[in-house]
Amino acid sequence: MIGEKPRQKLTYADYLATPEDKRYELLDGELLMLPAPDELHQRTQAELGYNVMAFVKTRGLGRVYFSPTDVVLSDVDVVQPDLLFVSNDRLDILTAAGVQGAPELVVEILSPGTAERDKGYKRALYAQHGVKEYWLVGTDAGTITVLLLEETGYEVVGTFGEGDTLTSPTLDGFSLRIDEVFGP
């Protein structure tokens, strides 16, 4: 509107000044507070994290982190994916403050308050910064969509649901029965 001041974008320095007892993300210079995830979200995160961590650790492939871990993609974009993997080849992006650059694999568990952002803005953001593989986890539907970065953006490798076994292009040899993640 005429007469409105343009919004001033916050930066990583501003983000670092936020209270440590709250969860935030910085998306295109806008600070967003993240509520604590619900029980199903946390259970799904634990199941996925356990399986990915066991695979990565037994093969000595790199490191796996859970939210809240800061991933600094630019001075105006700091995210806290639910789960992420950094290979041994890229351990130099790890710092005491978090991850400074794109992990190879990012997992976002969709919730009502974040689903559109995860499927839209963050998908484009992760592609722009070179995250090779992106999983969108739908706890309501009991599905995991695996996306792989191609020259034109993310392409869907597959959507895995009940009775399916997920495989990962980035974690060669990894497989996961979806029923183990969403089962009782």
Please write the tens of the pLDDT for every residue from 1-31. Answer: 455 666 789 999 999 888 888 888 899 999 8
* pLDDT number for residue 1: 46
CA distance 64 to 109: 16
Rounded Cα distance, 161 and 56, in Å: 23
Domain ranges of the chain: 38-182
pTM exceeds 0.75 for this model:
yes
Number of residues that this document lists for the chain:
184
CATH 3.90.1570.10 fits 38-182, yes or no: yes
Query: Which stretches of the chain drop beneath a pLDDT of 70?
Result: 1-6
Whole-number pLDDT of residue 28: 92
Hey, what are 83's tokens?
């789960």
Q: Who contacts 184 (Cβ-Cβ below 8 Å, separation ≥6)? A: none
DSSP per residue, 10-35: P-HHHHHTS-TTSEEEEETTEEEEEP
